[in-house]
Amino acid sequence: MSVLQLDIGNTALKWRLRAQGRTMQQGCLLTRNVNAETLQQELPKGIQHVACANVAGSQIQHWICNWAEQQKVPCFIAHSQSRFGDLVNSYTEPHRMGVDRWLAMVGARQRSRNPLCVVDCGSAITLDYIATSGHHMGGYIVPGSRLMMESLIGSTCNIIMDPARPVDNITPGKNTQQSVSHGVKRLLHQGLQAILQTAIAEGFELKLTGGEGRILANTMQQAYFSGLVLEGLELVQQHGR
């Protein structure tokens, strides 16, 4: 059975085509460029199922469901749950947790039964703590570098820059644009490193994912898991939840 899995975030739509337990194809689209036409052009055909985790709004979900209907295949839409196996959501209203956070925890829990700190570095950065028992202990949500830059640009006159442009450099900037982008990156990464070093000292195993997670993983010499959300999506779909 071939399954097209979609992780739709506020910045990017990540997809992979799975069959016989293997990834056959994969790709990525900027969410701002997604519409009915781009889905027809960019997504693979000849699939048997679609599974989707979406935090980018109802319009994109509508396009995905319509696309699946045109392909004449069922479309599974994932939602956050009160529990999955021994993983227990701490929210009193589980549906209010972003489904990407939940699925990243599902994927991480499948990989390890140790105490976990699951970090998803997307438009927003989420950190979630899981006890050995599988109980979610709570978490943090902070703005990612793009949101930080957008906030500064929107509140300050005479700063012209593209907050979507990736920045890896954290040296002191030689102009206003560099000073903003490098400063935001340095503040964010050093702040996160401090939190995560504390988590390590407290016995948590790190599971880093998301667009900026690779840089953080390399800096801290930690493993990086590019597809935790999709791994969780696969598990939840297989159990029909």
Task: Please list the helix, strand and coil fractions of the chain in percent, rounded to the nearest 5, in that order.
Answer: 40, 25, 35
Residue 98 burial class via C-beta count within 10 angstroms: exposed 0-12, middle 13-18, buried 19 and up: middle
3-state secondary structure of 109: helix
Q: Give the span between the Cα atoms of 32 and 14, in whole angstroms.
A: 13
The terminus-to-terminus CA distance of the chain in angstroms comes to: 18
> Is there a domain that residue 108 lies in?
yes
Same domain, 117 and 195: yes
Count up the domains in the chain and report the number. Answer: 2
Which stretches of the chain drop beneath a pLDDT of 70?
154-169, 241
Same domain, 90 and 39: no
Please give the pLDDT value at position 163.
Answer: 45
> Is there a domain that residue 184 lies in?
yes
pLDDT digits (tens, 9 = 90+) for 82-121: 999 999 999 999 999 999 999 999 999 999 999 999 999 9
86 catalytically annotated: no
Same domain, 131 and 90: yes
Same domain, 141 and 37: no
Query: DSSP of 123-143, one letter per residue?
Result: SEEEEEEE-TTSBEEEEEEEE
Element (H, E) at 36: helix 36-42
Please give the pLDDT value at position 161.
Answer: 47
Please give the pLDDT value at position 152.
Answer: 77
**Do the Cβ atoms of 72 and 223 come closer than 8 Å?**
no
Catalytic residue among 100, 120, 128, 168: 100
Task: For the sheet with 116-121, list strands across it.
Answer: 136-143, 124-130, 116-121, 205-209
> Is there a domain that residue 241 lies in?
no
Q: Where are the beta strands (DSSP E) in the chain?
A: 2-8, 12-19, 22-30, 49-54, 75-77, 83-84, 87-88, 116-121, 124-130, 136-143, 205-209
Same domain, 202 and 187: yes
CB count in 10 Å sphere of residue 183:
17
Domain containing residue 197 = 83-145+166-233
CATH number of the domain that residue 34 is part of: 3.30.420.40
Please give the pLDDT value at position 168.
Answer: 63
Q: Give the span between the Cα atoms of 139 and 124, in whole angstroms.
A: 13
Final residue of a domain: which of 26, 53, 77?
77
Same domain, 99 and 196: yes
